[in-house]
Amino acid sequence: MKLKRFFSFFCLVSFGIACGQTSIEAKNLLELASKQMESYDNIEFDFSYVLNNRMEQINQESSGQVTVANEKYKLNFLDAIQLFDGEDLYTIVPENKEITVTPSSEDEDFGINPQELLQFYKEGYDYQWDIHQTVRGKKIQFVKLVPTQDDGDIQSLLIGIDTQQNHIFKLIEIGENGTITTLTINNLRVNRSLPDNFFVFNESDYPNYYINN
């Protein structure tokens, strides 16, 4: 699922980075964004997700919302909810009235756990200074990530950073097969007053659901 990889790049900048052959400007900007994002107790944002391949005449658009606090998260995307309470991942599909429970200890590649994704993508990219744009009144500076090893399907990545807020604004993946996948972050909210049970799964909230353990 490409969305999972996008969140790995988000967490890469939000929770720390490691640089190889990197321009000083790109490294400093990523470090500023890293320090700013990791200073928050929690982050919530809406996002748009677009997958486009002109050669194959494919254009898919969708949207979602995610709330992240340390290793816990709640993701609403593609008519499903993923809730990770720090121990178990609950995938809730209202259309089927079905819930799948996956303990984190059973699968190393089961969700978008920021801590796990950080370890996987912490290395393997060079960072380069790229284009600057003004989007919706925001000053966006892009940093280009180029795999240092043959990834197989990724040509490059672009991380757009709002230089006024030091927040991530856009993530773009350019594939070797011509596919361009874009995630745009909208309405970023930080340090929200979340209920104590926000990341707690309560079975009584889902009557008549089949729970697959």
Amino acid at 83: L
Q: Is residue 68 part of a domain?
A: no
**pLDDT tens track of the chain, all 213 residues?**
455 555 555 555 554 554 444 577 887 887 788 778 778 899 899 999 898 888 888 888 989 998 988 888 899 988 899 999 989 999 999 999 999 998 876 554 444 444 443 333 346 778 889 999 999 899 999 988 888 877 567 888 888 999 999 888 888 888 888 889 888 989 999 999 999 999 999 999 999 999 998
Q: Is residue 23 part of a domain?
A: yes
How far is residue 91's CA from residue 213's CA, in Å, rounded to a whole number? Answer: 11
> Could you say which DSSP state residue 41 is in?
S
Which pLDDT does position 8 carry in this prediction? Answer: 55
Which pLDDT does position 46 carry in this prediction? Answer: 92
Which pLDDT does position 200 carry in this prediction? Answer: 96
Cβ neighbour number for residue 158 with a 10 Å cutoff: 19
Q: Is residue 128 part of a domain?
A: yes
Which position has the token pair 């494919």? Answer: 58
Which pLDDT does position 133 carry in this prediction? Answer: 93
Which pLDDT does position 21 carry in this prediction? Answer: 46
Q: Is residue 106 part of a domain?
A: no
Q: Is residue 196 part of a domain?
A: no
Measuring CA to CA, which residue among 196, 176, 173 is closest to residue 42?
Answer: 196
Which pLDDT does position 120 carry in this prediction? Answer: 34
Which pLDDT does position 145 carry in this prediction? Answer: 82
Which pLDDT does position 119 carry in this prediction? Answer: 35
Which pLDDT does position 121 carry in this prediction? Answer: 35
Q: Which residue range(s) make up the domain with 42?
A: 2-62+115-189
Which pLDDT does position 10 carry in this prediction? Answer: 59
Q: How far is CA 115 from CA 41, 69, 111, in A?
A: 15, 11, 11
Measuring CA to CA, which residue among 108, 7, 16 is closest to residue 64?
Answer: 7
Say which residues have a Cβ less than 8 Å from residue 204's Cβ, sequence separation at least 6.
none
Q: Is residue 158 part of a domain?
A: yes
Q: Is residue 156 part of a domain?
A: yes
Looking up residue 39, the CATH number of its domain turns out to be 2.50.20.10
Q: Is residue 81 part of a domain?
A: no
How far is residue 145's CA from residue 51's CA, in Å, rounded to a whole number? Answer: 19
Joined together, the tokens standing for residue 65 give 């919302």
| Tally of domains in the chain | 1
Which pLDDT does position 9 carry in this prediction? Answer: 54
